Amino acid sequence: MELYRFFIFGRVQGVFYRKFVSSAAMKRQFRGYVKNLADGSVEVVVELTDEDLEEFMRILKEGSPLSTVENISYEVIADADLVYDGFEIRY
């Protein structure tokens, strides 16, 4: 398992993007969080296996029906403040 931090850019705030990502992640039992950033982007931190990375990228690209994802960047990180189980929306 690796910890990934994603930054999603585009029309991703005020369009239920966080709710969409959180619901999809919980269905697949991923552990992490999603939150809006001040610059209008969204940050997602999630624990994934190598096999799960492609599936999670599809979730982020799809987004909610009202969202428009223009760009996604990510990095592997060493540590994050994650809940022990589940996926949460942070404010």
Domain positions in the chain: 2-90
Band of pLDDT at residue 83, cut at 50, 70 and 90? low
Segment 40-60 mean pLDDT: 96
Distance CA 50, CA 12 (A): 25
Q: Give me the pLDDT at residue 76, please.
A: 95
Mean pLDDT check: name the lowest of 11-15, 59-63, 78-82, 85-89: 78-82
Smallest Cα–Cα separation from 31: which of 62, 56, 66, 68?
56
Distance CA 86, CA 29 (A): 7
Domain boundaries 2-90, corresponding CATH code: 3.30.70.100
Q: What share of the chain is helix, strand, coil (3-state, %, to 5)?
A: 25, 40, 35
> What residues are labeled active site?
18, 36
Q: Give me the pLDDT at residue 84, please.
A: 64
pLDDT, averaged across the chain: 95
Distance CA 71, CA 69 (A): 6
Q: Give me the pLDDT at residue 89, please.
A: 95
Q: Give me the pLDDT at residue 7, please.
A: 98
